[in-house]
Amino acid sequence: MKRTKMKTKWPDKLFVVCNTLFMIAFVVITLYPVLNTVAISFNDGMDAVRGGIHLWPRKFVLKNYETVLHQQNMITGAYISVARTVIGTLLALVANALLAYVVSRKRFLFRSQLSLFWVITMYVNGGLIPVLLVYRSLGLTNSFWVYVIPGMISAFNMLVLRTYMEGLPESLAESAQIDGAGDFTIFSRIISPLCKPVYATVALFVAVGQWNSWFDAMIYNRMRSEYTTLQYELMKLLSSVMQQSGSANSMAAAGQGAATVTPVSVRAAATVVTMLPIICLYPFLQRYFVTGLTIGGVKE
Amino acid sequence: MKRKAKTKAARVPITWKEVKRQKFLIICSLIFVIYGIIFYYVPLGGWIMAFENYKPKTGLLGSKFVGLDKFKFLFSDATFIRVIRNTLAMGVLNLVATFVMAILFAILLNEIRFGFGKKLVQTISYMPHFLSWIIVTGILHDALSNSGIVNELLLNFGFVDRAVNFFANKSFFWPIVAFANVWKETGWNAIIYLAAITSIDPSLYEAAAIDGAGRWAKIKHITLPGIKPTIMILLLMNVGNVLNAGFEVQYLLGNGLVKRVSDTIDIYVLTWGISQNDYSLGTAAGIFKSLVAIILIVVANQIAKRSGEQRLF
């Protein structure tokens, strides 16, 4: 059907050529800056200042990575980032799934009220400072838990899960109920196994969000270097680069004193370390986020 | 209609027996409501701060009530007015740019007939979405730096005599922010349009082909009208977010030289609230932002209702 044997008219041919060129340009613009950063991360720092490095390092060194991996802050940051991603994703998944289950039960007495209660949170929030004061009074600031507890439930994820659960045949839960199963059993034994694809979607959304966030580390744990995250460390490197932007005499970055590293090259190496896990994983998770987005987009 | 009547009939009356039967659901809801109150509703109580001269020592209830003084100060502050302008301008620019690009990309990608190439381009197109803003701004900073690729191309093709310092020039800042958003989100935002395009009835295209329609005609008369409802609902969902689009890039790429065009409401809140410790003023600015966002959503929803389009609520 796609390849009907018809004579292609010249405007159509022109269209195909232009379209192909557009896609190639799109891919180049998307990939080039990333690959360029990878090349710089493997290049001698002082040499990179001269410019002209594109997709391949000119003076290959591993010094930048050594510098990054020997910094205590980066190592702590890596641990904390992994911990918050794992713990945060697990907690968020369990909480959102349970909430979605409760809201998706048609016979539940307070179904619409509970749903409204959460939908409101999508549109109004206290704002930065009131939120900060609440976290402070709960003792969440200057602690690891500020990364995983406050953002645990999100109305958006709850709606995605609910929509999926409501699409499952009701007779499954009903027959289990007749057999004497309680709600917890129905949730954990019957609904959850069927929700694996949508669980994967939500887990992916939450995990990416956890891995990538930096603002919470900056605001709530600024004074506590033991709770720093990879992204926050990267942000500090970025701002040191921006401040010294353009000046070549910015050696001795990161206290290593080695003549061959500059803030730019160290930052490039740190960037590669930070994005590596995501770049390696996301192509395999495609089908999950594609389904998730389509469910989320057509909510209600 | 039938389905609606059925759910109505199935509504259970609140009786002790029913409450007992649903005790697991009710206990869970209670926990979730307590959690929601603590983390989403209690902070709203903090809005009182905007109407008093909040001092951490005296607390929320003991601080002096000053009425609308903080809001009066805000609107007499030239910086705040400028910050509103920046937020709105960049929000609208980002919204339009990312929308147009995502739709264009989805339609053009759909026209690619070579399956493997299509899949490859799409996979690559999602990638930037998964990178944090820290990484994206860093990469962008490299590309636009004096020795970066953009300056290299401009110099080699003779468009400029010496490297352009993109981050020192005020007129470049808004386009850079818009480009950063387009670069990061085009592929991701296109997913939903591609899904919508797939659900268009293929017989429409076949009929058009028989009538002699070319690719352009098919896009214009079948694809675009086919995804119009999706475009409308996403536009609606995003209008309320216009003011939220103004923090990370601006905070990370902004510097002293471009402050006048880069500062947004969120950055204003951060500077006054956190750095200057004026919690009341920071909260007042935050409230203003929330109110404008809600008004935008309601207005957009009303417009959609009038024109007979889908709406959010």
Convert chain B into a string of H (helix), E (strand) and C (coil): CHHHHHHHHHCCCCCHHHHHHCHHHHHHHHHHHHHHHHHHHHHHHHHHHHHEECCCCCHHHHCEECCCHHHHHHHHCHHHHHHHHHHHHHHHHHHHHHHHHHHHHHHHHHCCCCHHHHHHHHHHHHHHHHCCHHHHHHHHHHHHCCCCHHHHHHHHCCCCCCCCCHHHCHHHHHHHHHHHHHHHHHHHHHHHHHHHHHCCCHHHHHHHHHCCCCHHHHHHHHHHHHHHHHHHHHHHHHHCCHHHHCCHHHHHHCCHHHHHHHCCHHHHHHHHHHHCCCHHHHHHHHHHHHHHHHHHHHHHHHHHHHCCCCCCC
Query: pLDDT tens for residues A187-235?
Result: 999 999 999 889 998 999 899 999 999 999 999 998 888 999 999 999 9
Q: What is the pLDDT of residue B128?
A: 95
Regions in chain B scoring below 50 on pLDDT: 1-9
The torsion angles phi and psi of B199, rounded to 5 degrees, stand at: -85, 0
Chain A residue numbers touching B12 (CB-CB < 8 A) = 107, 109
Count Cα neighbours of B271 within 13 Å in the Cβ-side half-sphere.
12
What's the CA gap between A249 and A49, in Å, rounded? 10
Query: pLDDT tens for residues A65-103?
Result: 998 888 888 999 999 999 999 999 999 999 999 999 999
What's the CA gap between A160 and A198, in Å, rounded? 8
Considering only A146-160, A278-292, B108-122, B249-263, which range has the smallest mean pLDDT? A278-292
Nearest residue, CB atoms, A235 vs list B46, B128, B134: B134
Nearest residue, CB atoms, A238 vs list B143, B234, B252: B252
Nearest residue, CB atoms, B270 vs list A9, A126, A128: A128
Q: Which residue of A has its CA nearest to B123?
A: A283
Q: What is the pLDDT of residue B158?
A: 86
Residue where the block lists tokens 């990178």 = B131
Mean pLDDT of A117-141: 90
Nearest residue, CB atoms, A129 vs list B24, B121, B282: B282
Q: Between residues B13 and A283, which one has the greater pLDDT?
A: A283
Chain A residue numbers touching B162 (CB-CB < 8 A) = none
B36/A123 touch (CB, cutoff 8 Å), yes or no: no
Q: Taking 90 as the threshold, does the pLDDT of residue A36 lie above it?
A: yes
Q: Minimal CA–CA distance to A265: which of A35, A43, A34, A59?
A: A43
Query: Is the complex ipTM more than 0.85?
Result: yes
Nearest-neighbour CA in chain A from B78: distance (Å): 22
Q: What is the pLDDT of residue A80?
A: 95
Chain A residue numbers touching B18 (CB-CB < 8 A) = 109
- Fold that domain A62-300 belongs to in CATH: MetI-like fold (1.10.3720)
A123/B148 touch (CB, cutoff 8 Å), yes or no: no
Q: How confident is the model at residue A8 (pLDDT cuts 50, 70, 90)?
A: low
Domain extents in chain B? 2-65, 69-306
What's the CA gap between A270 and A234, in Å, rounded? 7
Q: Between residues A258 and A64, which one has the greater pLDDT?
A: A64
- Which of 116-135 (A) contact B at CB < 8 A? 117-118, 121, 123-134
A33/B139 touch (CB, cutoff 8 Å), yes or no: yes
Q: What is the pLDDT of residue B41?
A: 94
For the domain B69-306, what is the CATH code?
Answer: 1.10.3720.10
Is A210's Cβ below 8 Å from some Cβ in B?
no
What's the CA gap between B182 and B250, in Å, rounded? 15
Q: What is the pLDDT of residue A197?
A: 87
Chain B residue numbers touching A165 (CB-CB < 8 A) = none
Residue where the block lists tokens 């591993």 = A62
Q: What is the pLDDT of residue B310?
A: 61
Q: Which residue of B has its CA nearest to A285?
A: B123
A31/B124 touch (CB, cutoff 8 Å), yes or no: yes
Bridge partners (DSSP) of residue B64 are: B53
- Which of 64-93 (A) contact B at CB < 8 A? none
Q: pTM for the whole thing?
A: 0.87
Nearest residue, CB atoms, B123 vs list A124, A126, A283: A283
Return all residues near A251 (Cβ < 8 A) that are at least 6 apart: A45, A46, A259, A261, A262
Q: Taking 70 as the threshold, does the pLDDT of residue A244 lie above it?
A: no
Is A245's Cβ below 8 Å from some Cβ in B?
yes
B145/A246 touch (CB, cutoff 8 Å), yes or no: yes
B108/A23 touch (CB, cutoff 8 Å), yes or no: yes
What number of C-beta contacts closer than 8 Å exist between A and B?
Answer: 254
Nearest-neighbour CA in chain A from B279: distance (Å): 6
What's the CA gap between B178 and B82, in Å, rounded? 19
Is A264's Cβ below 8 Å from some Cβ in B?
yes
Q: What is the pLDDT of residue A50?
A: 79
Share of chain A above pLDDT 70, in %: 90
What's the CA gap between A173 and A207, in Å, rounded? 30
Share of chain A above pLDDT 90, in %: 48
In this structure, chain A runs to a length of: 300
Return all residues near A254 (Cβ < 8 A) that are at least 6 apart: A67, A68, A71, A261, A263, A266
B46/A34 touch (CB, cutoff 8 Å), yes or no: no
What's the CA gap between A70 and A275, in Å, rounded? 18
Q: What is the pLDDT of residue B234?
A: 85
Bridge partners (DSSP) of residue A43 are: A60
Chain B residue numbers touching A50 (CB-CB < 8 A) = 147
A283/B192 touch (CB, cutoff 8 Å), yes or no: no
Q: What is the pLDDT of residue A252?
A: 40
CA distances from A236 to A232, A239, A298, B129, B159 (A): 6, 5, 39, 22, 34
Q: Which residue of A has its CA nearest to B203?
A: A1
Q: What is the pLDDT of residue A296?
A: 59
Report the DSSP pairing between strands B52-53 and B64-65.
antiparallel
